[in-house]
Structure 1
Amino acid sequence: MDTNALSDREATEVADGVYLAQLAVGQRMSIQHFHIEPGATVPEHSHEHEQTGFIYGGALTFIVDGEEFTTEQGDSYAIPSDEPHAAENRTDKPVRGIDIFSPPRLDVPWE
């Protein structure tokens, strides 16, 4: 068994105000923590990984195929593999959450 504490992981700023920290990685999935500052944007991107996530602080607006979906504290979401998507923190509070990727996502193309 492998355990990881968020406090032991250094977050990487992958876009202005967007921070990611890789947590546990298994053979078939990985988990990542994110912190997105007010006004920050995750640029549109896609990846082979199926992505599910959970917002535990703040609110995040996803843009998928021109449609907007706002997720708030306590909400979860699922993004199919290869679906282009972006996200924006349109609030005055940071957004915090976790993403789970399958297969494991070990790199972020916009780094």
Structure 2
Amino acid sequence: MKSIDFADAETYEPEDGWRRVSLAGSDQFSFEWFEKPAGHSSPMHDHENEQVCLCLGGELTVYTNDGDSTTLKQYDSVWLDAWESHRVANESEEMAIGLDVFAPGRSFDFWTESDG
């Protein structure tokens, strides 16, 4: 068993107010809690990992490179295939909170060692 105390978990803040926290996981899957400030969008990106994005609070809109989009409200989720280009935006005026699940698991190296 490996326990992660949220207050002591590895944290990454790619931009002011956009914070990601690495939760318990493994090489097979990983969990990243995140907060996204009002008006913020991640850049369009893709990765080798399948991804499930779960909205825990506020609203998140997920856009794909092929023009599809969906708006997630509390407890809604979306699945993204490996290498599917996407971005996640908070188009509201309130902070949004989410949870990303990746398979296979990944670290923050995705953001720190690549163009995203």
TM-score scaled to structure 2, two decimals? 0.86
Verify the 8 A CA contact 1:58 1:93 in the aligned structure 2: yes
Measured after TM superposition, the shift of residue 12 of structure 1 is: 1.6
**When you count strand as a share of all residues, which structure comes out higher?**
1
Amino acid at match of 1:4: I
Instruction: Give the Cα–Cα distance (whole angstroms) in 2 for the partners of residues 10 and 106 of structure 1.
Output: 10
Identity between Structure 1 and Structure 2 (%): 32
Partner of residue 73, structure 1: 74
Verify the 8 A CA contact 2:12 2:108 in the aligned structure 1: no
What do residues 44-88 of structure 1 show as CA deviations (whole Å, max 9, x unaligned)? Answer: 000000001211111001111212210111111111000000111
Instruction: Give the Cα–Cα distance (whole angstroms) in 1 for the partners of residues 73 and 109 of structure 2.
Output: 24
What do residues 7-59 of structure 1 show as CA deviations (whole Å, max 9, x unaligned)? Answer: 22253211343211111121311111111000111100000000012111110
Instruction: Give the Cα–Cα distance (whole angstroms) in 1 for the partners of residues 11 and 26 of structure 2.
Output: 19
Amino acid at match of 2:24: A
Within-5 A mapping of 1:1-111: 1-64=1-64, 65-111=66-112
Instruction: Give the Cα–Cα distance (whole angstroms) in 2 for the partners of residues 52 and 107 of structure 1.
Output: 17
Instruction: Give the Cα–Cα distance (whole angstroms) in 2 for the partners of residues 83 and 21 of structure 1.
Output: 23
Measured after TM superposition, the shift of residue 89 of structure 1 is: 0.6
Amino acid at match of 2:17: G
Q: What RMSD over aligned residues (CA atoms) do the two structures have, in Å?
A: 1.5
Amino acid at match of 1:19: R
